[in-house]
Each structure stands twice: as C-alpha cells, then as structure tokens.
C-alpha cells in the first residue's frame, strides 16, 4: 500500500511501516534493534516496489497434481546497495529475492562540500535485460543516488528503481531534476536538510547506527 505523493515518489503507507520507522528514529534504539528494523522495512518496501515485476508461467507437480505456477526471474534482478549504509538493507531485500545478484558501488560524502566521492565499484558490464534496485537508507542531498544512476545509465541500464527509508525534499529534487523517470520508494518524506546536510527530523547517520561506529559507542 503506497501513495504517489509527487511524480515517481512513492511513500509506503502502512501501520507497521509507521510503527517500525518511529522505533528507528528513536535515539535510544540500540544497534541490534536498529539493524533489525532496517532489514524489516527493506522487506516491506521491496514487496511494494516490485508490484509490477514480470512473471512467467510454468507447469509444476504439487504433491497432489500438476498445476500451472508463476515465477519471477530473480536472476535478472540486481540489488545495488550504496556502501556502506545500503548494506544494512541487503538482507531484507534478499529475503524477498534470494536469487537476485548483489553488486556494489562505494560512495562517501565529502563532509565539507557535501559532494559524493566514488571509491569502489563492482558492477557486471552486462546490464542488458536486468532490473536494478538501488538501495540506501537515507536520501539527503541525493548526490550519491544521482552518481549511481549516472553510472548505471552510462553502462546501458534501462530499468532502475530506488528504495530508501527516509528521503529529504532536496534529495528527491536532485534525483528527479536529472532522472524524472526513476521511481523512488520510501517510508517517509521528511521536512528538510539542516546546515550539515542531515535530514530533519531524520534518524541521524544510518551507517553509524547500523555498524556501531558512533563516537560515543
């Protein structure tokens, strides 16, 4: 159950999503629970983001009789987590699509300029006929997502969706000003970015909270 709040921005509207997102935002939520919540939200969002995925028919034998069954060609789906925070969503997406490929693009944000800096990429060059799910918990400035979309489109990819947990208006505007055709699925559209480029109210640094690298820990 999702709502298109603006062109190609879909917000998942479900009581469990609101509940889990609220627990995720709490600054008292510990690393273990935080990781579990990210994974659970990724499961729900993948379910919604793949509603239009093609299926094929095939005859199978049940314990009782022959039947016509329907399958998704998972091997044509590629999950692309943006390192490192995107790794926290991989297991959730994989639980829904266990035979999908996982390939990686590493990007960090320059804390002074807020510009994305690529430091790693492992993407198979054969992108023909593949569907890409780009995953990152937070879309703040949108720079990292735009960088990844640039890379994938330059390789010839044609079917790409973005799955995030929280997005900021600035990030969505950055994505859709350059790639208006790309659907973005999220659990919440927050208010704005602060002067440090963090989403308000947000949930802090998702990568630090997933991997336990906060200064005070």
Domains along the chain with CATH numbers: 2-51+75-211 (3.40.50.2020)
What's the confidence (pLDDT) of residue 31?
A: 92
Q: pTM for the whole thing?
A: 0.91
Burial annotation 140-175 (CB, 10 A radius, 16+ → b, else e): bbbbbbbbbbebbbeeebeebbbbbbbbbbbbbebb
Mean pLDDT value of segment 182-209:
92
Residue 153 has pLDDT above 50, yes or no: yes
> Which sequence positions are flagged as catalytic?
109, 113, 205, 208
What's the confidence (pLDDT) of residue 42?
A: 97
Quickly state the pLDDT bin for 215 (edges 50, 70, 90). Answer: low
């Amino acid at each position: 159950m999702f709502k298109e709040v603006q062109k190609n921005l879909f917000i998942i509207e479900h009581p469990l999503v609101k509940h889990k997102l609220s627990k995720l935002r709490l600054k008292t939520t510990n690393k273990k629970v935080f990781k579990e919540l990210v994974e659970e939200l990724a499961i729900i969002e993948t379910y919604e983001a793949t509603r239009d995925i093609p299926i094929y028919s095939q005859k199978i034998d049940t314990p009782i009789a022959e039947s016509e069954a329907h399958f998704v060609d998972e091997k044509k789906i590629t999950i692309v987590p943006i390192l490192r925070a995107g790794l926290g969503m991989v297991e959730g997406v994989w639980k829904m699509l266990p035979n999908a490929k996982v390939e990686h693009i590493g990007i960090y944000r320059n804390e002074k300029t807020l510009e994305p800096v690529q430091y790693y990429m492992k993407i198979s060059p054969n992108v023909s006929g593949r569907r890409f799910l780009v995953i990152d918990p937070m879309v703040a400035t949108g720079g990292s997502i735009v960088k990844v979309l640039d890379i994938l489109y330059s390789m010839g990819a044609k079917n790409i969706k973005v799955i995030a947990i929280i997005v900021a208006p600035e990030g969505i505007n950055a994505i859709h000003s350059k790639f208006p055709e790309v659907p973005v699925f999220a659990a919440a559209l927050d208010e704005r970015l602060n002067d440090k480029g963090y989403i308000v109210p947000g949930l802090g640094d998702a990568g630090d909270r997933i991997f336990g690298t906060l200064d005070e820990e």
